[in-house]
Every structure is written in structure tokens, then in C-alpha cells.
Structure 1
Amino acid sequence: MKKNVLKITALLAFGFLFVGCNEDFLETTPLSEVADASVWSDQKLAEAAVLDLYQGTWAGTLTREETTDAFTDQAVFTHPGRGVDGYTEGKMNPAGNFMDMQWFSWPQLYPFIRSANNAIQKLTLNEAGMEAALVNRLLGEAYFMRGYFYTQLMRQFGGVVLTLEPLTLESEANNPRATFAETVSQILSDLDQAIDLLEDAPRDPARADKITALAMKSRVLTHVASDLYEPSKNSGVSTIASYAHPELIGWTSGSQLQRWEAAKVASKALLDATTGYKLDYTAPASQEEAIQNYEDIWLQGDENQDFIWGRLVEEFGFGSRTYPGGDGWSQGPGMVALYHGPNGYHEWAGTTPTEALVSKYDFADGTKFNWDNPAHAAAPYDNREARFYSTFLYDGGPWKQRTDDVVKFDKFNELQTGYYTLSDGTIINGVDTRQGPIEDWNGSRTGYYFRKFSDPRTPASWPNDLQKVDAPYIRYTEVLLNYVEANINLGEEGEAITWLNKLRFRNGLPAVTASGSALLELYKRERDKELVNEDARLFDMKRWLEGPQSLNKQVQQILIQATQKPGTTVTDYRKDTSLFNYVYRPTNIVFENRIWQDHVYFMPIKQEEIDKDPSIIQNPGY
């Protein structure tokens, strides 16, 4: 597919070269005034300014070693001291003490909101006399990006400060938070404006268009229809029940059923406007095909139909102002394999799967996995559902060619996350464990690594493993799941099952037979698995009021111990059930003292923001 996205960095470079021609002018005029005077009177510079808004997405969940799944039951961050325990141990407070992810950060997103406000004002005036089609596209993108930024903040904080005009220094002193309802209304207004203005814009997976705006509207309406914001459902949450300003963090009037109906309509509008990837199966795909289907979705990036909007590595690059201080590949998704890969490949095991996540994956025939079943416990990695094999690296699982210095420990390119005792008493610590021979401090604490988003085609070990896997922000499948969820909550189970089966068949799973609360539970766990490491579980955990279920338990590793069978000969170790007896035991690890605290449902507004504007009311529990 021919890609036609302009590089942000190239456009910005052009812009700064343009305004830098007159050195005396730059010496006497503030840059902000240069932008006002020059940018919006030039078509290329105006487009560059709008494209710069996309820098406020960073690369979403592929930005850094910590993914938001590490704040939930699904993953753990290997290296302490980064603030992840602010979430998992409830230590967050207005002074900080939590990992402030850039693409959700109050202080880091508001400058982009101000830039969007400026773009909307200038493009509406269109003093440069640009063609209507271009103005509509750029204006639609600016409205979309503002709505997106407010969505990111709303999902963290509830009602936020709504700034809709370019601010002056004088106007920033008194800007109280809007109510939750007002914040949602503004987001929807921005997205509706974008939908109208982008009606004729070309389809573009890196830039907002009508499809992108429809998808984002589905996300917003699904999120705000959920129990976290519904007074009849959230009254059992201590911090919410005692909060003096409920209007800032949820609905105080209206019908939850009507909100689910709105979410259903918005989701169906997107499903009807475009098509997803391989959703036309009438029976489960074969195991081999289903594994490939799921891998195609995340590995092909924007080349895959499922990809609606995200950051395209090749077009936008990452040597930009949101990735400072490197050679263009020093941050972001180019390093995902290095961030999360096994230490036995000279990688860092940044965020790794927990046993709690791995246990959510069924067998290929749809049977639930259960450690209490002796047959399951004896061979836990055999015949699991297809997504298991595309998502995880596990003991004995195939992976890349080892580097030359590691071949002596593994000649077969298979993960070693267990401990193996030979008949002469020799103990081999798996090369990918924290007791292994290669950079043991980078070994997984859980016995698993993520395969998803690590390109299997690139060689192992920095800097050879720099990759170009696109970062998805929203996929067709998320909207499909939103539609299913709305239908379940409206009691329309037949329609929900029809669409849920489309997804399950693509993934090689049998048709749904559940109903009632069992159907809702099946749906939730289906969503957990499908959207791993896509910034979904953190917000789903909160909006479903599943905080205690997710975090009131310790992280578990899988402890694997293998003993050589008598009378056998082993030259070089590899996983082989004919040579070894294997025992697998899920075991608590003392790493994070995970405990759920109700105040974590909403993020604290940093005290420095309140100090700048005392009219801002803090969230509950802080």
C-alpha cells in the first residue's frame, strides 16, 4: 500500500527554516508571535502546525518500558523505583509518587490542547485564504485532536479544565474544573465537528479522518456509560461515596440505559462505515490460521484492515520533540523488543505477563484453563487458544536465533524460563531466568515475556532489534467489542453473541453459549486478551469497578522444575518431555505489595497545578 503521510519532523524543520531566514527578526520577536504571524498565513506551515498536534500521542503504549497493563493484574514491571507501585500499591498522591505516562499526563497534554485551540481559532478565521477543502481537513484534525486529548484526561481525572480559546497569561489564573457531564459534552462536540469536517478527507491511518473520529466516539460513549460513573453502581466505592463533588467524577442525572444505547449507536456507525479483518468466518479458524490472524493484526500495523489509527514509525519517525536526546531511535516503538524481550537475548524484560493474565487464555476447544486440573497443570502450554502463542514467550516456546555468545547455552532458539536438574545432579538455570548466565537482572520475574509487538523478523539484541511495528491507538476490533458490550448491557444478547462470535471464530474459538452474567464475564475476559498492552485493561478495570479483583492479590510467577529421566542421555538441554519430567507451580512472588486502594479509580491532580490555580478541586481520596 502506498503511504502518503507527511513526516512531522520534516515539516517542522521546513517551518523553522522558513521563519529562521531573518535572524534579526528572530532576535527581537518571541517565537509564539512568530508562529501567529507566519504559520497560519502559509499552507505548508499551517499543516505542519496541525501535524505537530499528533506529537501529543507519543507512541501510546509502545512509548516506553512500562505499559499500562503493568498497573493491573495482567503484567508487572520488572525494575523497581519507577513509580509503577503508585498504582499497584495505591501510593499515588498529589505530590507525585506514581508513573505519569506522557500520553495521559495533565501537565504534558495541556500545552497540546492550547495548540489545538490556537489552530481552531486561526483556521476558522482563515486569514490566509486557503482552499476550503484544506481548511476543513486541518480544522477537523484540530477538533479531533482536542477531543482526543480531553478524552485521555477524562479517563484519568473525570471532569477537567476546559480551555477552548487560546489562553493569555492573565486568563490562566481562574479556570475551575468542568463537571463530568460538561467534559463529556465538549468531547462529543469536538468529535462531531471532526466527523462533519472530515467527511471528504482521505482515509489515513496516521491522521484523523471521519473513520477515526467515529471510532473515538464509540470509545468515549462506551467508557462513560460504564458503572464507574453511574451513581447506582459506584456507591460501594468508599472514596466516591464520601466525595463532596460527585458532579466532577460522574453522572448526577440521566439514565445509564440511555447512555448504553448511545454507545451502541455510535459503535454500529463505525462498524457499518468500514470493515474489519477476517470477520467473515462461519466456524472457528484452524489453530494455525488463527495464530497467524492475530499476529497479522499487530505485526502488519497500518497495512491491516483492523488498524484504524496509530503512530506509523516510518512516516512520522521518532527523532522529534516528544522523543528527545537520541539518534531518532533512542525512544519509542523502535525499541519495543529491547524493552520487553528476554535477558537471554540481551533484552530488558521491562513489562512481563503475570500468571493471572496467562491463565485467562482458554484451550483451543474453548475449555477454561484451570491449575487445579491435573491434566492442565501437567502440560499448561499445550493446545491453548491461538492468541496465547502470538502473545507470549514461554518455556520451550520457539523464538529468534540466539546471538553468538548465547548459542552455547541454547542451540535450539527456544525460551528457557525453568530450572533443569540433570541425572548427575547438575542444575541448569534457564538462560532466560533471573538466575541465568546472561544479564540476570533483566530476567523476567514471572517466567513469561511478551511476544506481541516484538517483531520476530528482526535479529536479537540491541541495536540489531530496532523494529518498525506501528503503534495502534484504536482498532476496529475495539469498536466491535464496544458494540458487544453495549448490547449485553441493553439485554440484546443475540446481537452481542453474533458479533462476539465473529471475533472468536477469527481467533479459532468455538461459538458462545453463555448468557446473563456468564456472558458478560466471558466478554470481559475476551476483551482483556484481545487488547493486551493496548492501554485497555487499566481503564476497563476501573470502569468495570474491578480494582479489587485486579490488584488485591500478589503477582504470581510460574516456577518450572524439570528432572532428567533415569536412563536418558542429554547432551545439550532443550525442552523435551521424553527426557525430562516437568513440574509447573504458580507461585506468589514478593516484589510489589499489591493492594487495591479506592482512590486509584481517579488520578490525583498534581499539587503544582492546584497551586497555580486554586480554583481547581482535587479528586476524591487525596
Structure 2
Amino acid sequence: MRKNVINYILSLLILMSACSIDITPTDRYTEEVIWDSENSIDLYVNGLYTEFRTFEFGRFPIGYDNATDGLTDIMKYTSQASGNGTVNILASDASRYTASTPGITYWASAYTRIRRINEFIYGLQNYSNTSEEQKLAFEAEARFIRGYVYFWLARINGSFVIIDDLEGHTSLTNDRSSEDECYNFIAEDFAFAAQHLPETRLASATGRATKGAALSLLARTWLYAASIAEFDRNQYNNDPKTGIPNEKAKTYYENAIVAAEAVVALANQGVYDLESNFAEIFTKSNNKESIFRIDYVTQFITHQYDFGFVPPGDAPGQAMVYGVPTAELVDAFEMADGSKFNWANGMHAANPYENRESRFYATILYNGATWKGRTLNTTDGGGEDGFVQIGTISEPRKTVTGYYAKKLLDPGNTSFIQNRSTQSWHEIRYAEVLLILSEAQILSEKLTEGRTTLNILRNKRGLPNVTANTREQLFEAIQHERMVELAFEGHRYWDLRRWRLAHVKLNNIRFTGHKINNLGSGYMYEKVVCDTRDREFIGQMYYLPIPLAEIQRNTAITQIQGW
């Protein structure tokens, strides 16, 4: 199987090296080497999947892993310098977001990829001699990827230009569609993909889309659309094309439920399941919880997640320690019995890292934790892994909160400096589908069903049932569960945005860590700020601007109001 995977990746690398070939319509699509060979078509599709690497490990939009989590209350980037500290600049200065320099933008890259995908679909439909069934399967993969690209534009800009053919792209005369139309278009792509993709793939085709992957992203799409309809209500932007009518929220929640329940049906058939060992989900690629992921192979396709996030004692003087968990995240993990952790509780405060839920130990590296054969010392003055007060050093490359991020690290990788890393990135997993389903059920007033779905996940994580009963209480429970279950998987920033809570949770506030002092007879935990400036998120930022250069290129596009 390993040989098949390597051959598959080598084929992909060969295709990627040839990406400079610009296939244009009518005069080059008849080249036999492309369209008369199913193998060549297959390689073309493989090449389209490289777009997912733009977003692996939460790297978008700044090029650093966990970048968007670093904009939130769950992670603090350590650097104060330009470059490594760009996340902190964007998190604390709303004036950095302008039409000239949007701060977060995917527009140009997205439409470059969309053009490639539309070229592929056009050539497939007009010049390929493969069977109709195979054409549909190839088109389904292309539209799965296109739906994903457009989904990112919807996350950032809300309203975008819909282009589903070659003529629409080259004419540059299209204005933005409404946000509602945009989400419906994305849903159409994922629905088509779900209809024509297989339920499972051979091991040699790991990383290719499946029915379950398309259904999962369809459920995610409808949940986002429902969230905009539920919570935006045109409070933050008067642009006529942004926002979704509030009366559509219930329908879109129902759509999310239908898609998510179809994934649950696949799980009931044995295709997916929740894993008992939470930590192994992120270090063991072949697990039932993974629905769509990117795999890596040593020496061929690798990443540098460990280099960026291991405690510095793993590679003294070399590890970067880009970001570390905040106290806000650490304190959110429950006790093993499901009760809330509370520093005001004397027993909790005396031993804050004992008797916590299993996800805490899989997600957080704390003072006294065992890691790669050593006991971590994250105290003030604790040596290689010790605490540094934020602002005292421009590039500390140590924890500024008293914690390190464990989740997604490979505990067995001791050669990441030389050989980089190969643990998988999971774009979507079964736990998220259950959270989508639960949220959609709760917010569409199916409270009993939503609570039951949420408890399935909690019970698998070793936690008791939630006791919440009302819509408001259960929605708070969902927010909490997503925060801890999906930490460092690139969801927190976008969740707070779609719930229209970012301007509440991420504005006019400084997040914290714990400065731990070793008293000899025990430890003293001092709460300290880990931001040097207040965070800033204003309502205008829910719809980020289209880059000015794109407005100048296509005069038919109207800028999002307010920018």
C-alpha cells in the first residue's frame, strides 16, 4: 500500500511541476495527451487538489500554521516583530484592513483556481472520450474542489462573483451575486459532488473526495448560510448584496440537518465513527473519524507544523513556537466528571492540571506534563521551556502563557528539523459533522434531538450528558463544545464571525496566560495578560473588502459597502 501511495504522490508532483501549461479553450483542448487518456485526466484532477494545501493546519491567510486561531481567544502568537508577529498586528489593529491591503484575502488566488477548474470541466464535457459515468465522477471531484474554493470566498467576503463557465471568467463583466445566491451555488456544487462520488476509496486514492466528504462540506455550507440568516440581520453592513433573509434560517438549518444525517447514515454503515482515543485522531492517519484529509509521505510531501509549535526544548535555538494556548482555552476544558474548572475552587487551584477531561491532555502541554521523555517546566525561569512575559522579548520562541499546544504535534517525531513532518491534516472529521447536526437541530427548535446528538460526542469523549434544556443554554453548550473539540483546527475565528460574536469576544480585550512560580513547596499561578494591546474586531470586518486591484480590473464589480 505504501508503494501505491508513493507512486500516487509522485504522479501528483509530476503534474504540479507542469502547472505552468496554460490550457485555453477551443484551440488546445483537443490535444490527445490530455483528453484521450483517462490517466491524464486523472492527473489533472490530482493537481486541482493542491488547493487544499493553502488551508492545511489553519495556515491561511498569513502563511503560518494556526494563523486564524491566533486571531482569537484560544491562541496567542508569541512574536511582536513584523512577519512572525503579523497575526498579532491583525488581531489588535482593525485599521490594517483596507481595500488596498485587505489583511485577509483569497480573491485573486481563488479565481485563478476557479479558472483551472472551469477549464477542466469544459474540456471534460467537450473533448473527453471517457464514459459518461466517469465524466460525472471527474466533474464531481472538480465541483467538490470548486465548492470549497467558493466557500472560502463566502467566509471572507460574503458576496462574490459566481463564474461557472469559461466565458464568464474571461469577460470580466460580472458583478457580485447576493450572499444568499453565493451559498446556494456552493451548495449546488457539493450536492452534485455527493451524488456522483463513491462512498469509499482504495488506499491508493487516499485524499480524493468521497460522498461523505461532499455531504459533510454541504452540511457545513448550509450551517454557515443559516448562521448568517439567523444572526446577521443586516446589522453590520448595508450592502444590498450581503446578508441572507432571516426567514430562510430555518430552511437552511433543515438543509444542514439533511446533509449531516446522510453522513450519520454512512457512519451507521461502518464508513465513519468517533474514535475512543482523541489524541490518536491527529497522529494516526487511518482512523474512522477522518472524513477528508491531506496525507503526507516522508521525503516527498511534508509540512513544518512541529517546527512551528513544539516546546523549544525539543530543538533548542531552532523551534519557532509561533503560537501557544491562552488561559481562556485552558480553563474551558472541563473536569473529568463534567463539572466546570474554576480557579475559585481551592481543590482545582491547588492542582489545576489534575482530573481534567481527556481532550485537555491531548490538546495542552502544561507545567509538569510528560513530553518526549522529559517533564516540562513552563515556570518563570524554567529553562528551555520556561515562561517569558509578553513584550519583554521581540522573538521569545517560548511560551508567553505558560502552555504549549500539544494537539496536532507528532510525539514520536524527533527529527522534524531535518526531515520535517508527516502527520495528516484533517479538513473535516466526523465529530464536526455531529456538532453541525446538533447546532442545526438546536437552532431549528429540535432541542431533544440536538441535545442527544451533542451527548453522543460528549459521551465518546468520556463526559456526561449536558444538562441544558433551553435553546439559549444548548446553543451556549454547542459554542463551548466547538471551542474545545475543534481547538487548533482552524474553526474558532470563523465560528465567532458566523455567530456575529467576534465583535463581542475579540474586541477591546486582552487575553491571558498563567505565570507559574515554583515556590519549592508548590506552585503559585499568577494570571497575566499575554497581549500588549487590546484586541480589535469591529462590525465592519464581518465582510472584508474585495482587493482594490480586483475592482480596478473588473469595473463591473461593486465594492462591499463600507470599504
Task: Settle same-fold status: TM greater than 0.5.
Answer: yes
CA-CA distance at 1:171 after TM superposition = 1.0
CA-CA distance at 1:443 after TM superposition = 0.8
* Count of equivalent residues: 538
Q: Counterparts of 1:396 and 1:439 in 2: how far apart (Å)?
A: 27
Q: Counterparts of 2:170 and 2:333 in 1: how far apart (Å)?
A: 55
Question: Which residue in 1 is equivalent to 2:290?
Answer: 307
Q: CA distance change for structure 1 residues 34 and 489 in 2, over 3 Å: closer, same or farther? A: same
Q: CA distance change for structure 1 residues 145 and 513 in 2, over 3 Å: closer, same or farther? A: same
Q: Counterparts of 1:35 and 1:416 in 2: how far apart (Å)?
A: 61
Instruction: Map Cα deviations across residues 545-593 of structure 1 (whole Å, 9 max, x no partner).
Output: 11133213202121101112xxxxxxxxxxxxxxx32111221134343
Q: CA distance change for structure 1 residues 451 and 562 in 2, over 3 Å: closer, same or farther? A: same
Q: Counterparts of 2:104 and 2:16 in 1: how far apart (Å)?
A: 34
CA-CA distance at 1:2 after TM superposition = 7.0
Instruction: Map Cα deviations across residues 187-222 of structure 1 (whole Å, 9 max, x no partner).
Output: 122122212222577465411121111111111011
Is 1:448 aligned with 2:403?
yes
CA-CA distance at 1:492 after TM superposition = 1.7
Question: Which residue in 1 is equivalent to 2:251?
Answer: 258
Q: Counterparts of 1:613 and 1:195 in 2: how far apart (Å)?
A: 33
Q: CA distance change for structure 1 residues 154 and 99 in 2, over 3 Å: closer, same or farther? A: closer
Instruction: Map Cα deviations across residues 16-39 of structure 1 (whole Å, 9 max, x no partner).
Output: 78x9xxxxxx9xx97656566342
Q: Counterparts of 1:163 and 1:561 in 2: how far apart (Å)?
A: 58
Is 1:585 aligned with 2:526?
yes
Q: Counterparts of 1:439 and 1:431 in 2: how far apart (Å)?
A: 17
Matched residue type, 2:436: N
Greater alpha carbon shift after TM alignment, 109-118 vs 610-619: 610-619
1:395 aligned residue (367, 377, 392): 367
- SS for the counterpart of 2:522 is strand
1:500 aligned residue (447, 454, 460): 454
Instruction: Map Cα deviations across residues 136-184 of structure 1 (whole Å, 9 max, x no partner).
Output: 2211101111111111111111121111112588512x22111112212
Matched residue type, 2:377: Q
CA-CA distance at 1:259 after TM superposition = 1.8
Q: Counterparts of 2:415 and 2:456 in 1: how far apart (Å)?
A: 36
Question: Which residue in 2 is equivalent to 1:140?
Answer: 140
Q: Counterparts of 2:151 and 2:504 in 1: how far apart (Å)?
A: 25
Q: CA distance change for structure 1 residues 380 and 49 in 2, over 3 Å: closer, same or farther? A: same
Instruction: Map Cα deviations across residues 296-336 of structure 1 (whole Å, 9 max, x no partner).
Output: 211112x0101011211129953xxxxxxxxxx4xxxx311
Q: Structure 2: give runs of 5+ residues left out of the alignment.
A: none
Matched residue type, 1:604: P
Q: Counterparts of 1:418 and 1:524 in 2: how far apart (Å)?
A: 31
2:233–2:246 contact (8 Å) kept in structure 1: no
Matched residue type, 1:48: L
Is 1:267 aligned with 2:260?
yes
Instruction: Map Cα deviations across residues 475-503 of structure 1 (whole Å, 9 max, x no partner).
Output: 11111111100111122222112221111
Q: Counterparts of 2:11 and 2:411 in 1: how far apart (Å)?
A: 30
Is 1:558 aligned with 2:558?
no
2:78–2:395 contact (8 Å) kept in structure 1: no
Question: Which residue in 1 is equivalent to 2:377?
Answer: 416
Q: Counterparts of 2:350 and 2:383 in 1: how far apart (Å)?
A: 21
CA-CA distance at 1:380 after TM superposition = 1.3
Q: Counterparts of 2:178 and 2:557 in 1: how far apart (Å)?
A: 11
Q: Counterparts of 1:556 and 1:276 in 2: how far apart (Å)?
A: 41
Q: Counterparts of 1:45 and 1:304 in 2: how far apart (Å)?
A: 30
Q: Counterparts of 2:421 and 2:531 in 1: how far apart (Å)?
A: 34
CA-CA distance at 1:99 after TM superposition = 5.1
Question: Which residue in 2 is equivalent to 1:78?
Answer: 78
2:144–2:193 contact (8 Å) kept in structure 1: yes
Q: CA distance change for structure 1 residues 365 and 544 in 2, over 3 Å: closer, same or farther? A: same
Instruction: Map Cα deviations across residues 455-475 of structure 1 (whole Å, 9 max, x no partner).
Output: 0011166225x2211111111
Q: CA distance change for structure 1 residues 162 and 30 in 2, over 3 Å: closer, same or farther? A: closer
2:334 aligned residue (358, 362, 372): 362
- SS for the counterpart of 1:496 is helix
Aligned residues with identical type, % of pairs: 29
Matched residue type, 1:39: I
Q: Counterparts of 2:16 and 2:441 in 1: how far apart (Å)?
A: 48
2:354 aligned residue (369, 377, 382): 382
1:7–1:316 contact (8 Å) kept in structure 2: no
Question: Which residue in 1 is equivalent to 2:99?
Answer: 94
Question: Which residue in 2 is equivalent to 1:198?
Answer: 197
Q: Counterparts of 1:153 and 1:180 in 2: how far apart (Å)?
A: 10
TM-score scaled by length of structure 2:
0.88
1:400–1:456 contact (8 Å) kept in structure 2: yes
2:484 aligned residue (515, 526, 529): 529
Q: Counterparts of 2:233 and 2:539 in 1: how far apart (Å)?
A: 12
Q: CA distance change for structure 1 residues 615 and 384 in 2, over 3 Å: closer, same or farther? A: same
Q: Structure 1: give runs of 5+ residues left out of the alignment.
A: 20-25, 281-289, 319-328, 402-412, 421-427, 565-579
CA-CA distance at 1:128 after TM superposition = 3.6
Question: Which residue in 1 is equivalent to 2:314?
Answer: 345
1:40–1:46 contact (8 Å) kept in structure 2: yes
Q: Counterparts of 1:602 and 1:244 in 2: how far apart (Å)?
A: 10
2:274–2:430 contact (8 Å) kept in structure 1: no
Q: Counterparts of 2:505 and 2:283 in 1: how far apart (Å)?
A: 28
Q: CA distance change for structure 1 residues 12 and 48 in 2, over 3 Å: closer, same or farther? A: farther
TM-score scaled by length of structure 1:
0.80
- SS for the counterpart of 2:278 is helix
Question: Which residue in 1 is equivalent to 2:155?
Answer: 155
1:296 aligned residue (280, 292, 304): 280
CA-CA distance at 1:15 after TM superposition = 9.0
Question: Which residue in 2 is equivalent to 1:209?
Answer: 210
2:506–2:535 contact (8 Å) kept in structure 1: yes
CA-CA distance at 1:278 after TM superposition = 5.6
1:399–1:414 contact (8 Å) kept in structure 2: yes
CA-CA distance at 1:434 after TM superposition = 3.3
1:234 aligned residue (232, 235, 260): 232
Q: CA distance change for structure 1 residues 30 and 527 in 2, over 3 Å: closer, same or farther? A: closer
Q: CA distance change for structure 1 residues 36 and 381 in 2, over 3 Å: closer, same or farther? A: farther
Question: Which residue in 2 is equivalent to 1:10?
Answer: 11
Q: Counterparts of 1:384 and 1:3 in 2: how far apart (Å)?
A: 42
Question: Which residue in 2 is equivalent to 1:424?
Answer: none
Q: Counterparts of 1:497 and 1:258 in 2: how far apart (Å)?
A: 20
Q: For the aligned residues, what is the CA RMSD?
A: 2.9
1:176–1:617 contact (8 Å) kept in structure 2: yes
Matched residue type, 2:378: T
